[in-house]
Amino acid sequence: MIVSMTLELKDIPGQLVLALSPISEFHGNIMSVIHQHDEKTPRGTIPVQIRFEIEPRILNGLIEQLEKSGVKVARVGEERLRSTVSVILIGHIVHSDMGDTIDKIDSTGFAEVVDMSLSMPAIDKTSSAYLVINAVGEKELGMALDIMRDVANKKDILMIEPIHMNSVGA
Amino acid sequence: MRTFRISIIGFGAVGQGVARSILSKKEYLNKQGIDLQVMGISDSKGCEINENGIDIEAALLRKKQKGSVAFGDAKIDIIRDVEHDIVVEVTPTNINNGEPGLGNMRAALGSGKHVVTSNKGPLALYFSELKELAEDNGLFFRYEATVGGAVPIFNLVHEALAGNTVLGIEGILNGTCNYILTRMSDERMPYDLVLKEAQELGFAETDPTYDVEGIDSAIKLVIIANSVFSQAATYKDVDVTGINKITPEALELANKNDYVVKLVCEARDGKLKVAPRLVPKRHPLAVGGTLNVASILTDLAGRITISGKGAGSIETASSILSDILYIVRNSKS
């Protein structure tokens, strides 16, 4: 699983190493560290955001170890939705009850519409929307897209999808 | 010096481009020991035949002044009755029954002549028949100019990338659509207005249906499927969506998120699809204006992308001349 964690460090030397070494000791694979020394919390501590990949069963042991060594774990969150796709919709989107479509995706439990921008030039003109859908994996993303395609088909909406061979072999 | 005798069947923009290229490359070809003689030229109104080789300059001038290459009232079947080696079949594309191109190609291959063509109709309808007819008679059947104008897609796949398995092809194969989408996006102009502009500039036909509804792209994709994937596909196998519903607002939303919208032809996993797609701005497929592009994904070489001019008289003639020279270099006679 991918975990994003906010830690609070004391403003004294050596704290970042203290926070990071348990993660590697527990075989976590660190993906990013954001350490902003001049942004202090009201408590005078320094917040650090860390993203890493780790075995789910080890996570609690790691948190215990961090707390033991004096690092405050302020927030732990699992990043569930790892795959993302953007699509553009053209048609009478508002009148076709877009909320219902978004609900359909969100209620799958494996995918969510995380961003949407809408452009409506005039009442009698077709509108255009840009949607970002996130899902737990590529397969689930494909299933979410199938739902979108189905809705677009039924409601006479043109759906523009990204090209496929985007990453492969490029 | 090896002399090769050719005929040019169809004397519109492409046919005249071929004639001009042969004329302008005479010295270049002679240095390589090749002499191309044009024995016959025909258009819809008549033909010119000369067993000593046609004066190309005079033929071009006559076409310009009189609207036809016709010389006297010779009513001879050039393909069957004039002795020559290569038929350059460049009559207009007819997607309903492939004629007159189909009959011309059958006649040529049936009477021992190689065929070089830019005519998409017969290939979209009867690709395997024509290919087999050529093979059975030990003749070459070359069609580089049918897809992508000057862009050498088939040569690249069959010659330069020989040994690779092609996993998929994506491309932009219609310059008119690419021009319209590029202008709409750059100038934030609505579709109707850009189409009108394209028609005035001569980039779009008076009846734009064939281009903007994706039909032309689909036909080219069918030829790719048949040639590269040996798929025996026809137009009916392609899932086609055109560009006529696209709004400037959609293009702006795409732009804000670092995408452009392009009419993309895609052949992959046995499926053929033509549809407007989101292409990341930095992706090699994101070419603008009237350009064509093809991106070929292979197992050994990875991805190879080529782009260039997809239409134009001399550009298309470039592909035809290249096919003629392929035959000259590879035929035994």
CA distances for A154 relative to A101, A104, B226, angstroms:
11, 14, 33
The separation between the first and the last C-alpha atoms of chain A, rounded to the nearest angstrom, is 27
User: Is the confidence at residue A122, as pLDDT, over 90?
Assistant: no
Query: Is residue B113 among the annotated active site residues?
Result: no
The backbone torsions φ and ψ at residue B281, rounded to the nearest 5 degrees and listed phi first, read -55, -35
pLDDT band, residue A169 (cuts 50/70/90): very low
DSSP E strands: which ranges in B241-270?
Answer: 259-268
From chain B, the residues in CB contact with A162 under 8 A are 259, 277-280
Residue B73: predicted pLDDT? 67
Residue B333: predicted pLDDT? 59
Digit-coded pLDDT (tens) for B144-165? 999 999 999 999 999 999 999 9
Residue A149: predicted pLDDT? 93
The backbone torsions φ and ψ at residue B110, rounded to the nearest 5 degrees and listed phi first, read -75, -20
pTM of the model: 0.84
For residues A54 and B118, which has the higher predicted lDDT (pLDDT)? B118
Residue A164: predicted pLDDT? 82
CB proximity A126 to B under 8 Å = yes
Distance of CA B29 to the CA centre of its chain: 23
From chain B, the residues in CB contact with A158 under 8 A are 241, 245-246, 276
pLDDT band, residue A78 (cuts 50/70/90): confident
DSSP H or E stretch at residue B168: strand B166-172
Question: What are the DSSP calls for B23-61, one per residue?
Answer: HHTHHHHHHTTEEEEEEEEEETTEEEE-TT---HHHHHH
The token pair at B155 is 């040569």
Residue A165: predicted pLDDT? 56
- pLDDT > 90: what percent of chain B? 92
For residues B7 and A12, which has the higher predicted lDDT (pLDDT)? B7
Domain-wise residue ranges, chain B: 2-150+313-330, 161-309
- Domains, chain A, ordered by start: 2-79 (3.30.70.260), 83-160 (3.30.70.141)
Q: What CATH code would you report for B2-150+313-330?
A: 3.40.50.720
Residue B123: predicted pLDDT? 96
Digit-coded pLDDT (tens) for A129-168? 999 999 988 888 999 999 999 999 998 999 999 998 544 4
Digit-coded pLDDT (tens) for B287-312? 999 999 999 999 999 999 999 999 88
| Strands, sheet with A2-9, edge to edge from the N-terminal-most edge strand | A29-35, A46-53, A2-9, A72-79
User: Is the confidence at residue A100, as pLDDT, over 90?
Assistant: no
Average the pLDDT over B17-30 and give the result: 96
Q: What is the distance between the alpha carbons of residues A74 and A4, in angstroms, rounded to a whole number?
A: 11
Q: Please indicate whether, in this complex, the C-beta atoms of B276 and A158 are within 8 angstroms of each other.
A: yes
Q: Which residues pair with A46 in a beta bridge?
A: A9
pLDDT band, residue A170 (cuts 50/70/90): very low
Lowest mean pLDDT among A62-66, A120-124, B17-21, B170-174: A120-124
Query: Among the options B220, B262, B273, B309, which is catalytic?
Result: B220
CB proximity A109 to B under 8 Å = no
Average the pLDDT over A58-82 and give the result: 87
Please, how many CA atoms are within 13 Å of residue A107, restricted to the half-sphere of its CB?
7
Within 8 A by CB and 6+ apart from B15, the residues are B8, B9, B41, B43, B88, B90
Nearest to A160 among B170, B261, B285 (CB): B261
Digit-coded pLDDT (tens) for B163-211? 999 999 999 999 999 999 999 999 989 999 999 999 998 888 888 999 9
CA angle B43, B224, B321 (to 5 degrees): 45
* Interface A:B, Cβ pairs < 8 A: 87
Asked if omega into B100 is within 30° of 0 (cis), the reply is yes
Which amino acid is it at B45? K
Shared fold status for B2-150+313-330 and B161-309? no
What number of other Cβ atoms are within 10 A of residue B214's Cβ?
Answer: 26
Asked if omega into B276 is within 30° of 0 (cis), the reply is no
CB proximity B286 to A under 8 Å = no
From chain B, the residues in CB contact with A165 under 8 A are 168, 170, 268, 295, 297, 303
Q: Please indicate whether, in this complex, the C-beta atoms of B247 and A160 are within 8 angstroms of each other.
A: no
Pick the residue from chain A with its C-alpha nearest to B276: A160
What number of other Cβ atoms are within 10 A of residue B95's Cβ?
Answer: 16
Residue B267: predicted pLDDT? 96
CATH entry 3.40.50.2300 includes domain B161-309: no
Q: Please indicate whether, in this complex, the C-beta atoms of B303 and A169 are within 8 angstroms of each other.
A: yes
- pLDDT > 90: what percent of chain A? 42
The token pair at A15 is 């704290």
From chain B, the residues in CB contact with A170 under 8 A are 283-284, 303
User: Is the confidence at residue A11, as pLDDT, over 90?
Assistant: no
The token pair at B24 is 């302008």
User: Is the confidence at residue B37, as pLDDT, over 70?
Assistant: yes
- pLDDT > 70: what percent of chain B? 99
DSSP for residue B299 = T
Within 8 A by CB and 6+ apart from A79, the residues are A1, A2, A3, A4, A51
Digit-coded pLDDT (tens) for B213-237? 999 999 999 999 999 999 889 999 9
Among the ranges A92-96, A134-138, B91-95, which has the highest mean pLDDT value? B91-95
* Mean of all residue pLDDT scores within chain B: 94
The token pair at B151 is 């862009």
Exposed, middle or buried by CB within 10 Å (0-12, 13-18, 19+), for B111?
middle
Q: Please indicate whether, in this complex, the C-beta atoms of A165 and B246 are within 8 angstroms of each other.
A: no
Average the pLDDT over A16-34 and give the result: 90
Which amino acid is it at A157? I
From chain A, the residues in CB contact with B254 under 8 A are 88, 130, 160
pLDDT band, residue B56 (cuts 50/70/90): very high
